[in-house]
Amino acid sequence: MSYIVLARKWRPKNFAEMVGQEHVLRALRGALDSGKVHHAFLFTGTRGVGKTTVARILAKSLNCETGVSAMPCGVCAACREIDEGRFVDLIEVDAASRTKVDDTRELLDNVQYAPTRGRYKVYLIDEVHMLSGHSFNALLKTLEEPPPHVKFLLATTDPQKLPVTVLSRCLQFSLKRLPSALIGERMTFIAGAEGLKFEPAALAQLARAADGSMRDGLSLLDQLIAFGGGELKESDARAMLGSIDRNHVVRMVDALSQGDGTRMLAEVKDFDRDAPDYNRALIEVAAFLQRVAIAQAVPQAASDDEDFDIGEVARLAAAISAQDVQLYYQIALGGRRDLAMAPEPRLGFEMTLLRMLAFRPEAGDAGGQVAQRAKPAVAAPTAPRSGQTSAPIAPPAVAPGAANSIDATSWPGILDAAQVSGMVRQFALNCVPSSFDGNVLNLQLDTATIDRRTRQIDEKLAQGLSKYFGRDIRLNFETQSAALATPARQRTQDEQSRLTQAVAAFEQDPAVRGLRERFGAEADLSSVKP
């Protein structure tokens, strides 16, 4: 007897055997059990997630001799013939090879006739997005009002290419990519049922390489059985897939944590003997750093890690500061982007690691001095502009770099230092500080600004200022009927003044004047920019 590949041999025969896609199965079970089955279904999703499998089980449920239900018997003639692909009333069509309108018309010529054997005549059209526009037009009327004995089951990996007129006539179910854990569990069950000797780590490698596709995972399992002579070993799986030995990644990050560039480059040299994919290597470095960051921020979550040794993750989480881990992670992501432009992949990989080694906080700094140098400086206090209602206010002593006073001039710098941004910053720039009494900061705003004020803006502004001043700051707003000299209004006036000067300079330009005099040219002054 010829060998049957695992993806076909272990294809689910009913909904209970399906792995994942519970959101789809629940809806289909409900429709079948209630007898309210739509005439057209569209199953979408990436390759190998179970679109045609679900469609065939649905066809079996509709035509089972025991009756329409979510649990077909699997032993009657209709169920067996559907499993074997020879049921006369299940018409399977590969739209990728039958795209012409004549093919579609030929297919639909027999729609009006009753089923030969089953309860329903089921049309299963795979990769339906490959049909031509004329083919969709030919299908549309039948899809909208099919005879009561006909059901349409459409499957596609690219639903965006379907006309909206088709989409609107179908119940659409989107099948998700399967988690690697579910694929690994299914592989473990199949390997045990097949009597294979396997290492769990080998199946975990295959499950990750499947990238969400159960069919791809089982195809890789078939390949590993042939590669390993019937034994499923992690080393064979890694060799077959060209995967990265994660021990290399751990040793590189360990050398990086100790600032040992010599050992780090020696590890890269040893790593290069396996002719690795350096883009994949950076992915593994980033993945390991992410696990280290989790161990630092949420230690209890690290115990569920199946990809890396828990002991190594915990050790490096204690050896590397959280700031460094975040920096290394960002550099690893940037390194992947730059890798294509490197003279050689290995050189790009080495430069990424050397960049991690070069950008480090100064000894004994713990990140503090770097943060202070990056912190925006606040402008020194100046005399209040006309329209300001009071003198500058002296806040309490705060962190280095903080302002010694608050007025309309220094207010934008304080907002920068307090990391106030977005709509909150725009609102604050339309206010003018009037006094700082204890923990209460009084802000003036005019009637044109008061409508922009919301509770969320008040809270976010107070939070940012409290963090900056190192204590709880409360805000009190005073409404003024007259227009205030706010930073935002002053900026607008400055921009208008620069624009006026630019227009004047443009009109006085000898070349512009010459064009006007000789050709009667007209200038588009709205296009002039400072």
Q: What is the CATH number of the domain that holds 145?
A: 3.40.50.300
Q: Please report the beta strands in 12-58, taking only residues with DSSP state E, as ranges in sequence order.
A: 40-44
Rounded to an integer, what distance in angstroms lies between the CA atom of residue 230 and that of residue 196?
A: 7
Q: Assess whether 264 and 297 both reside in one domain.
A: yes
Q: What is the pLDDT of residues 229-248, one digit of tens each?
A: 888 988 888 888 877 778 88
Contact 400, 381 (CB under 8 A): no
Going by the DSSP 8-state scheme, the letter that residue 145 receives in this structure is: S
Distance CA 393, CA 506 (A): 43
Same domain, 215 and 330: no
pTM: 0.59
Using CA atoms, how far apart are residues 290 and 295, in angstroms rounded to an integer? 9
On whether residue 300 sits in a domain, the answer given is yes
Q: For residues 200 and 237, what is the distance between their CA atoms, to the nearest angstrom?
A: 11
Residue 330: both structure tokens together:
């960002």
Query: Within this chain, do residues 15 and 126 fall inside the same structural domain, yes or no?
Result: yes
What mean pLDDT do residues 28-32 have? 93
Specify whether 84 is located in the same domain as 186. no
End-to-end alpha-carbon separation of the chain, Å?
83
On whether both 275 and 336 belong to a single domain, the answer is: yes
Least confident of 114-128, 320-334, 470-484: 470-484
Please tell me the predicted confidence (pLDDT) of residue 51.
93
Query: Is there a single domain that holds both residue 43 and residue 98?
Result: yes
Residue-wise pLDDT tens digits, 172-192: 999 999 998 899 999 999 999
Give the CA angle between residues 98, 99, 101 to the nearest 5°. 105
CATH number for 256: 1.20.272.10
Q: Which helix (H) or strand (E) holds 195?
A: none
Closest by CA to 402, choosing from 387, 415, 386, 389, is: 415
CATH number at residue 211: 1.10.8.60
pLDDT of residue 302: 63
Taking the C-alpha atoms of residue 246 and residue 425, their distance in angstroms, rounded to an integer, is: 46
Out of 125, 144, 174, a domain closes at 174
Considering 44-58, 411-425, 481-495, the range whose residues carry the highest mean pLDDT is 44-58
Residue 159 falls within a domain, yes or no? yes
484: in domain: no
Per-residue confidence at 303, pLDDT binned at 50, 70, 90?
A: low
Domain that holds residue 57: 6-174
Q: How far apart are CA 235 and CA 191, in angstroms?
A: 17
Q: What is the mean pLDDT of the chain?
A: 84
Residue 266 sits in the same domain as residue 290: yes
Lowest mean pLDDT among 18-32, 91-105, 394-408: 394-408
**61 lies in some domain:** yes
Dist CA 220 CA 210 (whole Å)? 8
The last residue of a domain, from among 301, 331, 358:
358
Dihedral pair phi/psi, residue 282, rounded to 5°: -65, -35
Q: Is 152 helix (H, G, I), strand (E, B) or coil?
A: strand
Give the tens place of pLDDT for each residue, 243-274: 777 888 999 999 998 889 999 999 999 888 87
In this structure, are 31 and 147 located in the same domain? yes
In a domain, 425, yes or no: no
Is 163 found in the same domain as 21? Answer: yes
Number of domains present in the structure of the chain: 4
Own/partner long-range contacts of 193-197 (Cβ < 8 Å, ≥24 apart)? 194/6, 196/225, 196/230, 196/231, 196/232, 197/230, 197/231, 197/232
Amino acid making up residue 371:
A
Q: What does the pLDDT read at residue 367?
A: 42
Output the pLDDT for position 364. Answer: 46
Is 468 among the domain residues? no
Q: Mark whether 89 and 170 lie in a shared domain.
A: yes
Give dist(CA 19, CA 54) in Å, integer: 11
The pLDDT confidence band at residue 360, using thresholds 50, 70 and 90, is low
| Three-state DSSP class for residue 123 | strand
Q: Is 387 left (phi over 0), alpha (psi -120 to 50) or beta?
A: left
Residue ending a domain, among 140, 155, 174, is 174
pLDDT at 306: 58
pLDDT of residue 252: 92
Mean pLDDT to the nearest integer, 10-37:
91
SS3 319: helix
Residues 255 and 231 in one domain: no
pLDDT of residue 154: 94
Q: Is residue 448 part of a domain?
A: no
Kindly tell me if the per-residue pLDDT of 410 is higher than 60: yes
pLDDT band at 396 (very low <50, low <70, confident <90, very high): very low
Classify 76 as helix, strand or coil: coil
Q: How far apart are CA 9 and CA 84, in angstroms?
A: 11
Q: Give me 29's structure tokens.
A: 């079970």
